[in-house]
Structures are given as structure tokens and as C-alpha cells.
Amino acid sequence: MREIVVHDWQAGAGVDVARLAAFLGGTLGVAHSSVPGGAAVRPGGRGRALEACRVHDTRRPFWQQRGGARRGGALELYDGHELLAIALGAAGPGASPRGALHIMVTDLLVGTYDEGDARYHARPVVASNPSILSTASAVWGPARSVRYYAEIAEARAGGGDVAAVEDAHAGEHLREGDARMRAAIEGYALQAAMYALTGEAFCADSQCRLHDAHRQEGVLSVVASPALCAPHAAAIGGLT
Ligand SMILES: [Zn+2]
């Protein structure tokens, strides 16, 4: 990999892609650049192509999706692998293992279908070249605390104050616009880069930035003191 190119696919300010590119370039010792302007991959921009990536039924693999009525709700889910086709078009012919790694940062909710439990899961990182990072999936993918879910369910069932429960747990998980999002996305970006470099994105060490944390508690534990484990620090040092 000679270069990392980070593309801004966000509707709002969100993650600073130039800063993310500089972080990756500095950490991995490769050239870096960024591509601003995510309008092309927003609904209403290149809407039709994007629309074709939308998941209608989270219990069926994408090839079995029938389209039709909108799923509804504030958060539409998009298929990560289908989005990669759009990303490939945006990346151009330079995307190859020996050329540039392209990383798209989106605020769409991105998921992939898991054959194991026959349903979609939100994925903060879909590692490939290009790779896709999703801030919305960083918010909604890793599980929140058992106590949070129980209290929310109780408030909803009993007509309680859901907003008060949300406020009480505010610091426990990533939220939209969270100041900790930058560090979280840096970790996911490193996972994408490691996958491109070595074919293995994740680390078993729960305190390594390459750890695939399934719970918000784990994500935020790494974000609080972001570092690579010794073997990965050495591996990355050896690459540069
Ligand atoms: Zn590690």
C-alpha cells in the first residue's frame, strides 16, 4: 500500500476526513490525501444508486431482498457490500493492494448479513479495498449495557420518561456528534488498513485499537486510552 485516500461521504461535518487521512498516513508511514464532499452518495445526490443498496428486510440476505415499501423509521440500513460497488466507482482504478487504500466515511447506517444468525448487523467497518466506515453504525452497532436496554424497555412499556433514561446513560455509549467519535473511527480505520495490509483486521487483545469490540463499553475503553498492543505496534512499525 503506497497511499491512503479518505473520502467524505457524510451529510454533515461529522468526522474530519483530512485529519483522519493524516492520522493514518502518519501511523502507517504512507502518503495520504482526502476527498471532500459527500453529496454524491447521499439520498438525492446519487440517490438511485444508493437506493439500490437499501435493506428492506433485515432477516434476509441481500440477494433475497424484494424491495417495495420503505422499512420506515429514522434509520434506514444500507448493505455494506452493495455500497462497496459505489465506493469502487468513486475510488477509480487506483484501488489495489499495491496501490492506494480508499476509505469512505459515511453517516449512513451500514450493515452486512450474517449467515450464522440469519440477520443483518450494523457494521462500523466493512473492510475491503475500498473500505467503508460508518459513524451511525459505531453508534448503533456495538451493544449498549443490559441495564440501559432494561430501563429503556421499562420506560417505554410504562409510559416513563425515555429521555431521562437516555440522559442518565449518556456517557456510556457513542452518540451522534460524540466528541469520542474521532478516536473510535480512527480505530476502525486502522482495522481497515490492517486488513488491506495483512488480510487480518482484528486483534484478540481487548485494549488494542484493532480489537473488534462488540459492546460499547469495550469500544469506549479503547477510545479512552487508544493504543496498539505491542505485537501490532511492532508489526506496523515493521511496515513503515
Ligand atoms: Zn493488537
- Can you give the pLDDT at residue 7? 93
CATH number (domain holding residue 39): 3.40.390.10
Residue 16 counted as domain residue? yes
* pLDDT tens series, the chain, 240 aa: 889 999 999 887 789 999 999 999 999 999 999 998 765 565 555 556 777 888 888 888 888 776 655 555 557 899 999 999 888 888 876 556 567 999 999 999 999 999 999 999 999 999 999 999 999 999 999 999 999 999 999 999 998 999 999 999 989 999 988 999 999 999 999 999 999 888 888 999 999 999 999 999 999 999 999 999 999 999 888 776
Residue 146 counted as domain residue? no
Residue 157 counted as domain residue? no
Alpha-carbon distance 103 to 76, whole Å? 21
Provide the domain limits for residue 130.
3-141+179-239
- Can you give the pLDDT at residue 126? 96
22 Cα: distance to centroid of ligand 1 (angstroms): 21
Q: How many domains does the chain have?
A: 1
236 Cα: distance to centroid of ligand 1 (angstroms): 10
Residue 22 counted as domain residue? yes
219 Cα: distance to centroid of ligand 1 (angstroms): 14
211 Cα: distance to centroid of ligand 1 (angstroms): 7
Residue 214 counted as domain residue? yes
Residue 58 counted as domain residue? yes
Residue 156 counted as domain residue? no
- Can you give the pLDDT at residue 39? 55
Residue 89 counted as domain residue? yes
Contacts of 130 (CB under 8 A, 6+ apart): 7, 84, 87, 88, 90, 91, 95, 101, 102, 103, 104
- Can you give the pLDDT at residue 231? 94
CA distances from 48 to 9, 52, 196 (A): 16, 6, 29
